[in-house]
Amino acid sequence: MPADTSRPQSKRAAARERIAAKRAAEEAARAAALRRRRTVVGGIVAAVAVVVALVVVIAVQTHRTSTPAAVAAPPHTVDGGNVIAVGSADAPVTVDLYEDFQCPNCKAFEDTTGGTLEQLVAAGTVQVQHHGMAFLDTAANDDYSTRALDAAAVVVGAAGPDAYQKFADLLFANQPEEGGSGLTDDQLIGYAAQAGASGPAVEQQIRDLHYGDWVKRVTEQASRDGVTGTPTVRVDGTELADLSPAGLTAAVTAAQR
């Protein structure tokens, strides 16, 4: 008898409907906020308007209807299922890292400072607590931010934090152009396999947006944490201004004193 594929398809359709509704609400709120700002400070320059628009996108997330706390979180997560921790729990310094896989500035940080961070983890000096965010979804990229973070959740659930780190490195190394079409589900599945997470269950979960509600929850949590842009890096709770390798190393050294 042929396999019944209607249930996975309906599940994915429902997830996409939630994402589309979320994006429509955020766009309406952002448009209203921008109209109010134009009334108060008409004539604002275009560069500032872009910054304001980006901040409004994050601010809107803070005031959205909260996702139920009981949504399924992937295995191998910590802090109530909201965080993916890479490195020893006994490390003397904690680095909280907030990123969106579609964020070009996050890729720039990973390209320049990611290697230093991984060295500090390998040395047992730092544990990195990864806080995923998905606020760069568009129709053009087929909600890539959400799909990428969902796939990362599938990877950590199936193969653990080390596999997540490998998968994240692959996604940033192969980050699609902002405004482009985003990586396909097949590409995400391929990178998951390279990172050590493969098999029918992994493939199906990525295609079904298995952790779609979790993605929404952790994105909202990042907003509640006061994050207004990505990447945001906090060393033992203090936000890092200098995101260079030297800046990170200095902050970690100071935190150990």
Domain limits, the chain: 6-62, 84-256
- pLDDT tens digits for range 58-74: 433 443 445 555 789 99
**Which is more confident, 179 or 21?**
179
Mean pLDDT of the residues in the chain: 84
The count of other CB atoms within 10 Å of the CB of residue 44 is 14
CATH 1.20.1260.10 fits 84-256, yes or no: no
Half-sphere exposure (Cβ direction) of 204: Cα atoms closer than 13 Å? 9
In whole angstroms, give the CA distance from residue 133 to residue 226.
Answer: 13
In whole angstroms, give the CA distance from residue 15 to residue 4.
Answer: 19
In percent, how much of the chain has pLDDT > 90? Answer: 71
pTM for the model = 0.77
pLDDT value of residue 7: 53
In sequence order, the β-bridge partners of residue 98 are: 131, 232
Q: Which position has the token pair 């935190």? A: 255
Q: Where does the pLDDT of residue 39 fall: very low under 50, low under 70, confident under 90, or very high at 90 and above?
A: very low
Could you tell me which residues come within 8 angstroms of residue 72 by beta carbon, excluding any fewer than 6 positions away? 211, 213, 214
- pLDDT tens digits for range 239-251: 999 999 999 999 9
Q: Where does the pLDDT of residue 104 fall: very low under 50, low under 70, confident under 90, or very high at 90 and above?
A: very high
In whole angstroms, give the CA distance from residue 156 to residue 171.
Answer: 14
- pLDDT tens digits for range 158-178: 999 999 999 999 999 999 999
In sequence order, the β-bridge partners of residue 130 are: 84, 97
